[in-house]
Structure 1
Amino acid sequence: MTDALLEVRNLAVRYGDLIGIADVSLTVPAGKVVALLGSNGAGKTTTLNAIAGLVPPAGGSVTWMGQAIGGKPAYAIVGGGLALAPEGWRLFVQQTVEQNLRLGATVLADKKRVPALLERVFSLFPRLAERRRQRAGTLSGGERQMLATGRALMSDPKLLMLDEPSLGLAPAVVESLYETLGQLRRDGLTLLLAEQAVELALEVADHAYVLQTGRTVLEGPAAQLADDRDVQRIYLGLETTAS
Structure 2
Amino acid sequence: MTAPLLRVAKLAVRYGDLVGVADVSLTVPQGAVVALLGSNGAGKTTTLNAIAGLVAPAGGTVVWRDRDITGKPAYAIVSTGLALAPEGWRLFVQQTVEQNLRLGATVLPDKKRVPALLERVFTLFPRLAERRRQRAGTLSGGERQMLATGRALMSDPKLLMLDEPSLGLAPAVVESMYDTLGRLRREGLTLLLAEQAVELALEVADYAYVLQTGRTVLEGPGAQLADDKDVQRIYLGLETETR
Q: TM-score, normalised by structure 1?
A: 0.99
Gaps of 5+ in 2: none
Q: Is 1:132 aligned to 2:132, yes or no?
A: yes
Map 1:120-159; keep pairs closer than 5 Å.
120-159=120-159
Shift of 1:93: 0.2
Alignment of 1:1-243 (within 5 A): 3-243=3-243
CA deviation after TM superposition for structure 1 residue 18, in Å = 0.3
- Partner secondary structure for residue 148 of structure 1: helix
Report the 3-state secondary structure (helix = DSSP H, G, I; strand = E; otherwise coil) of the residue aligned with 1:34.
strand
Question: What secondary structure is seen at the aligned counterpart in 2 of 1:236?
Answer: coil
Runs (4+) of structure 1 exceeding 3 A deviation are none
How many residue pairs align between the two structures?
Answer: 243
2:81–2:157 Cα contact (<8 Å) kept? yes
Counterpart AA for 1:66: D
Amino acid across the alignment from 2:20: G
CA distance in 1, matches of 2:229, 2:11: 28
Question: What residue identity is the alignment partner of 2:3?
Answer: D
Tell me, in whole angstroms, the C-alpha distance in 2 between the residues paired with 1:118 and 1:52: 23
Asked if structure 1 preserves the Cα contact closer than 8 Å seen for 2:2 and 2:30, the reply is no
- Letter of the 1:130 partner, please give it: E
Q: Percent sequence identity over matched residues?
A: 87
SS of aligned partner of 1:233? helix
**For structure 1, which runs of at least 5 residues remain unmatched after alignment?**
none
What is the distance in 1 between the residues matched to 2:2 and 2:126? 37
- Provide the rounded CA distance (Å) in 1 between the counterparts of 2:85 and 2:189: 14
Q: Shift in Å at residue 238 of structure 1?
A: 1.1
Letter of the structure 1 residue corresponding to residue 146 of structure 2: M
**Structure 1 Cα separation of the partners of residues 200 and 126 of structure 2:** 22
CA distance in 2 between counterparts of 1:129 and 1:2 reads 36
Q: Structure 2: which amino acid aligns with 1:94?
A: Q
TM superposition score normalised by structure 2: 0.99
Q: Distance in 2 between matches of 1:219 and 1:184?
A: 24
Q: Deviations over 1:106-138 (max 9, x none)?
A: 000000000000000000000000000000000
Deviation per residue, 1:165-220 (Å, 9 max, x gap): 00000000000000000000000100000000011111111000000000000000
The CA deviation at 1:2 is 6.0
CA RMSD across the alignment: 0.7
- Write the letter of the residue equivalent to 1:111: K
For 2:156, what is the secondary structure of its paired residue?
coil
Asked if 1 retains the 8 angstrom alpha-carbon contact of 2:104 and 2:153, the reply is yes
Letter in 2 for 1:68: D
CA offset digits 1:12-49 (Å, max 9, x no partner):
00000000000000000000000000000000000000
SS of equivalent residue, structure 1 residue 182: helix
Question: Which amino acid counterpart does residue 40 of structure 1 have in structure 2?
Answer: N
